[in-house]
Amino acid sequence: MSETTGIRINKYLSEQGFCSRRAADKLIEQERVTINGKVPEMGTKVMPQDAVAVDGESISKKKEKPVYIAFNKPVGIVCTTDTRVEKDNIIDFINYPTRIFPIGRLDKMSEGLILLTNDGDIVNKILRSRNNHGKEYIVTVDRTINEDFIKKMASGIPILDTVTKECEVEQIGRKTFKIILTQGLNRQIRRMCEYLDYRVTKLKRVRIMNIPLDVAHGTYRDLTKEELNKLNELTSESSKEYHRQKAQGNN
């Protein structure tokens, strides 16, 4: 942090491993963050000597050891860090000894792989590259699927005022299919199926980028060094592409 310019409050909270920048913006909007006892405006910068607190609790300026875990989320657990409002939240369920937060979301009624960390930088990289990395799901619906269903799901479905990107879809059972998404619209798979008059009865995420789901239901493990190296490599490439496209868009 520069002695003269400081850093924005949302970036500060992210770098301290408290939450992602997006989550920090929500905390600031809710006036739950203070700098030297005062509620800051969005974009306020934190100086080295400033005292930052969330809900009245001081945020340590000493960075903790980075944590990266893969968790097999059960149905019914909510991917939120707001333990005050949601009793079935992922943070209380895991009960990790240090502060962590989920990377992205997995619906309450869905199960499977979700990553958690205290590293705000990797959260930003992964979420920014959401249109370039694959997430694999195994989905069961309420009635028999056919070739037409698979073809339409793979070609794109109109939902949420857009059309979903083309994706890989493969039937693996009478009512079950595998789908690999490279975008993350709200309740995307469920909405896609509903458009075709199917209802999802089970949805399980089994892979995020290079990370497979390989732990028991309701348990977690640390990411391996090899997985982290590959993850950083993948997000680095996505980040370069993001900035390239952004630059072209400004021309």
Dihedral, 177, 102, 120, 137 alpha carbons, nearest 10: 0
3-state secondary structure of 34: strand
Whether 113 contacts 213, CB under 8 Å? yes
Which residues contact residue 172 at a Cβ distance below 8 angstroms, ignoring those fewer than 6 apart? 138, 178
- How far is Cα 219 from Cα 230, in angstroms, rounded to an integer? 23
Lookup: tokens for 41: 């405006």
Is residue 107 among the annotated active site residues?
Answer: yes
Q: How many CA atoms lie within 13 A of 7 on its CB side?
A: 12
> What whole-number distance in Å separates Cα of residue 143 and Cα of residue 136?
21
Q: Which of 25, 82, 107, 121 is catalytic?
A: 107
Name the one residue in this structure whose structure tokens are 């520069």. 2
Reported as half-sphere exposure (CB side, CA atoms, 13 A), residue 221 has a value of: 13
Going by the DSSP 8-state scheme, the letter that residue 89 receives in this structure is B
Where in the sequence numbering do the catalytic residues fall? 107
